[in-house]
Structure 1
Amino acid sequence: MGSATLYHLAKRGVKVAGIDRHSPPHDLGSSHGATRITRQAVGEGAAYVPLALRSQQLWRELEAERGVSLFEQCGVLIMTATATATSHHGRPDFTRATLELARQYGIPHEAWEGAAIRQRFPQFRVADDALGYFEPGGGYLYPEACIQAQLDGALERGARIYTDTVIERLEADGQGVRLHSAQSSWRAKRVIVAAGMWSAELLGAPFDRLLRVCRQSLHWFEVADPALFPSDSPSFILAHGSGDSDLFYGFPPLPGENAVKVATEQYTDNTTPIDIDRNLHPGESHQLFSDQVGRWVGALSARTVRSAVCAYTVTPDFGFIVDEHPALPGVTVVSACSGHGFKHSAALGEALAQRMTTGHSDIDLDSFSLARFG
């Protein structure tokens, strides 16, 4: 969110600086891991669909501007593996919700039962009563490349970037907002905080009670049968139970890699930016494969080629927060995105830049306000 907003503000000629506690793109937050799913019909709710659609347009524009590859449109397949009702990001019956939104917005798609899924993509071992949603316009993004392209574009337009700089405190002083680090301070007319899992400690109330950090693990399993899992396979989300953790998602093998990236999500164990365990333990990959991946996906070996850790900053309803800070005039908060934000980041950056410069945005962001939490 930070790099996207910086880029779009710089495109509008705003005098703007980006400040990061590390050197982005990096692997210490929530925007790494080589790939991120993008989809147009977003089962989390109708408010996200315009963001997803606009973001895909912006990724293509950025590709043309920078001469880099950012978005692979391989399609996305969302499956409920049995007739069991499923939940994802707090939304019950996620696959059917996705189908309904696709119909509502006229998004090209196909609805399949289990036999059709197995016939088209035999690597998935779903039941006959499975429900599948295939969206040819979806696929995956290269997050590190997206961030770098936006930072480069912002720099070329005059933005300043300060890395390895920790903002410790924000202070509204009547003339704007003062930002304090251990080394220096800045004053800005407006500040946009896209601090991810560091948001609660920086922003204070009410964010310290609304946001929690959940550690997530990513695993790359070796492809045992490349004929069954070719590189032109779709990105996928496979739900097989009623809980938010009864689900995993994955990607096709990247060129030159004989491995498939797969991950699940957990929202039970909370952590902090300081305490997060960034080490992957052998049992984590084994458990994911034995409990989920090996049951529902063929063609993969239990051997893990590599792994990584990231963090989701989660709100009580698994939605976004994009709003003004209630106690700090001039501070806008974004990026508490509950683990499903990257696909929307380009359009959110544009919308925030529009709000900062014109007072309103083309895409309605009211659904992401703090008011819904009371």
Structure 2
Amino acid sequence: MPQEKKEEMERSFDAIVLGLGAMGSAATYQLASRGASVLGIDQLKPPHELGSTHGDTRITRIACGEGPEYSPFAKRSHEIWRDIESRTGRDLLTQNGLLVISGKGQRAAGHENPEFLRTTVAAADQAKIRYEILDGKTIRERFPVFNVNDDDEAYFDKVSGFVRPESCVEAQLQLAATSGAMLRFYEKVLKFEPDGDGVQVTTGVSTYRAKKLIITAGPWINQVLGLDRQFSITRQVLYWFGLKNQHQYPEFLPERLPVYIWQLPAPQSIYGFPLIGHPEQGVKIATEQYVDATTPDTVRRSVFPDEITRMFRTYVGPFFPGLDETCVKTKVCLYTCVKNARFIIDRHPDMKNVIIASPCSGHGFKHSAAVGETLAQMALGQSHLDVSKFSFSGVI
């Protein structure tokens, strides 16, 4: 075979995946496992701490307060992660339960939804998940780390929990490579354009062609698509606070403490996790803000002392009597959002062979394994989970 023809074949694929974070790593793995020739490209080397796929843990819940249309993706993701665990020996998914706490009076919205508790219950009913509704007294008896009011209430199920984002990405990229995927790191895409019945992608290194292009660029989505802030990128801070008394640490372990989302009587909701690792590593708690927009290039990645003090005084100290004001660690991550915390999983309006996936809005990782599978099936013309509610129409 002539060298020129060989090089052309090596640069031609069934699909190219642009961005190898949560969704992109999953899509690349699912394509390769189906025997497709696939190229995965990323300007960095995931997992890393510059996007949205880091911070040790991510909540996963099948009963989604954002709407019942998300539940099939979370449920399928659990199945995929269990399968990946069996293939790799990694620990990816811990099902230690979920509390969604709310109460009377003015409460912060959960993922921009003031009725988050009620819609979580409705989603659980539709997904046929067994759950309990707990009053404030019962919450304190079962989970003494929470300082809840008597008139607070909570949804509780045992099928939810948390996943390890960095390990999930690493595992799927590992399996993708084993299945024949070509992975190109530290390679920035400069442009993509139609090319006959396919797509041509130009990077700073080479030019490639594929039948389908899947764009999973996370917070870089506006730059890749050439949009002017159609997707809102917001800075989020993750905090790890220490324990007041080390002997209390069993109360914070996954065996005793579920993940939680708490609609506080405060400006923002909080979410958090049990103690992962040694007591001195701290307990992870975070808020969510959707007001101040940024970009991956301009975001402030340091966390100032006054932010830590404000976080503890407003969101931690009054509600977690066992936690100390000492902040062990902080991380900054990015949300990529459209209104009402929706997802975008749709074909490019002007290029039918380009699939765009921005299924994040702050609650995307729990769905990522199934979204990746869906993207692969869309690219290969196979049947897939319903994405009709995640179209561009009426969302951005």
The answer to whether 1:195 aligns with 2:217 is yes
User: Which amino acid is the alignment partner of residue 56 of structure 1?
Assistant: H
What residue in structure 2 maps to residue 218 of structure 1?
238
Range with greater deviation from structure 2 (177-186 or 84-93): 84-93
Partner Cα distance (1:329, 1:100) in 2:
35
Cα deviation, 1:71-116, whole Å, max 9, x if unaligned, reads 1111111111544454212222101111122122210211101111
The answer to whether 1:31 aligns with 2:53 is yes
What residue in structure 2 maps to residue 295 of structure 1?
318
Q: Which has the larger radius of gyration?
A: 2
Asked if the contact 2:95–2:161 (Cα under 8 Å) also holds between the matched residues in 1, the reply is yes
Aligned length: 369
User: Which amino acid is the alignment partner of residue 239 of structure 2?
Assistant: H
The Cα shift of 1:132 comes to 0.4
TM-score normalised by length of structure 1: 0.95
User: Which amino acid is the alignment partner of residue 37 of structure 1?
Assistant: I
Asked if the contact 2:73–2:371 (Cα under 8 Å) also holds between the matched residues in 1, the reply is yes
What residue in structure 1 maps to residue 37 of structure 2?
15
Cα deviation, 1:267-287, whole Å, max 9, x if unaligned, reads 111111210111111111111
* Identical counterparts, % of pairs: 41
What residue in structure 1 maps to residue 297 of structure 2?
274
Asked if the contact 1:250–1:261 (Cα under 8 Å) also holds between the matched residues in 2, the reply is yes
What residue in structure 2 maps to residue 238 of structure 1?
262
Asked if the contact 1:172–1:329 (Cα under 8 Å) also holds between the matched residues in 2, the reply is no
- Secondary structure class of the residue paired with 1:44: coil
Q: 1:263 to 1:86 in 2, by over 3 A?
A: closer
Partner Cα distance (1:32, 1:107) in 2:
29
The Cα shift of 1:237 comes to 1.1
User: Which amino acid is the alignment partner of residue 277 of structure 1?
Assistant: R
Range with greater deviation from structure 2 (90-99 or 187-196): 90-99
Cα deviation, 1:225-249, whole Å, max 9, x if unaligned, reads 342633121111111148xx52111
Cα deviation, 1:248-300, whole Å, max 9, x if unaligned, reads 11111112243101110111111112101111111111111101111111210
Q: 1:279 to 1:160 in 2, by over 3 A?
A: same
Query: 5+ unaligned residues in a row in structure 1: which ranges?
Result: none
Partner Cα distance (2:316, 2:68) in 1:
30
Q: Quick one: which of 324, 332, 336 aligns to 1:313? A: 336
The Cα shift of 1:29 comes to 0.5
Asked if the contact 2:50–2:296 (Cα under 8 Å) also holds between the matched residues in 1, the reply is no
Range with greater deviation from structure 2 (226-235 or 23-32): 226-235
The answer to whether 1:227 aligns with 2:261 is no
Partner Cα distance (1:356, 1:80) in 2:
41
Cα deviation, 1:203-227, whole Å, max 9, x if unaligned, reads 134xx34301101111100012342
User: Which amino acid is the alignment partner of residue 267 of structure 1?
Assistant: Y
Asked if the contact 1:197–1:336 (Cα under 8 Å) also holds between the matched residues in 2, the reply is no
Range with greater deviation from structure 2 (232-241 or 363-372): 232-241
Q: 1:81 to 1:306 in 2, by over 3 A?
A: farther
User: Which amino acid is the alignment partner of residue 237 of structure 2?
Assistant: S
What residue in structure 1 maps to residue 391 of structure 2?
369
TM-score normalised by length of structure 2: 0.90
